[in-house]
Amino acid sequence: MANISVLLCVICDSQAGEDAAPHMKKDSSVVLISSISGYHQHDSLAMYGVSKTALFGLTKVLAAEMAPDTRVNCVAPGYVPTHFTGYITGNQTLRKAIEDKTLLNRLGTTDDMASAVAFLASDDASYITGETLVVAGGMPSRL
Ligand SMILES: *[C@@H]1O[C@H](CO)[C@@H](O)[C@H](O)[C@H]1NC(C)=O
């Protein structure tokens, strides 16, 4: 998984935003999906987390390259019980430890993440670009 994310970053080299920009419509929007693990890497997902940290920088670069017609933002989801995170969220000890790190005392849902992406893609976010929105129930999120 980490290899795929890093490869994506390599493909999105410094020309990517400039190359894509002419093909994007005015007032268009791109939303990258990073992860809370980009801020603090879980032991079992260390390199995955590093690749997600890289997406924070990629968001800034693409936002600058694709402005002014296209906004580029990023969502950093917290832990959501999915097939991908099942080996963590399916373990009651690990799940409880993660829930305890959130202020809202629960894992996220796919709807929580979809709402954030919908907001950033909408006109309600028309003056937001180059930002990462952390959707992690208050879990600490600083580098
Ligand atoms: C859950 O995770 C803990 C901590 O890593 C581990 O000690 C335990 O064996 C795991 N439990 C199961 C059922 O896998």
Task: Tell me which residues have their CB closer than 6 angstroms to ligand 1.
Answer: 91, 93-94
User: Confidence band (pLDDT; 50, 70, 90) for 13?
Assistant: low
Q: Ligand 1 centroid vs 91 CA: distance in angstroms?
A: 6
Is residue 48 among the annotated active site residues? yes
The whole domain housing 48 covers: 27-135
Buried b (16+ CB within 10 A) or exposed e, 65-86: bbeeebbbbbbbbbbbeeeebe
1 is written with which tokens? 């998984």
Q: Is residue 3 part of a domain?
A: no
DSSP assignment string, 85-118? THHHHTSHHHHHHHHHHSSSSS---HHHHHHHHH
Q: Is residue 49 part of a domain?
A: yes
Using most ligand atoms within 8 A of CB, pick from 43, 92, 93 the residue to mutate for ligand 1. 93
Q: Is residue 19 part of a domain?
A: no
- Per residue in 47-65, pLDDT tens? 999 999 999 999 999 999 9
Q: Is residue 34 part of a domain?
A: yes
Q: CATH no. for residue 81?
A: 3.40.50.720
User: Looking at the 3D structure of the chain, how many domains does it have?
Assistant: 1
Q: Is residue 1 part of a domain?
A: no
Q: Is residue 15 part of a domain?
A: no
What pLDDT is stored for residue 14 in this prediction? 55
Question: Over 70: is that where the pLDDT of 18 sits?
Answer: yes
pTM for the model: 0.86
Q: Identify the residue with better confidence: 2 or 58.
A: 58
Q: Ligand 1 centroid vs 115 CA: distance in angstroms?
A: 32
Q: Is residue 113 part of a domain?
A: yes
Question: Over 90: is that where the pLDDT of 45 sits?
Answer: no
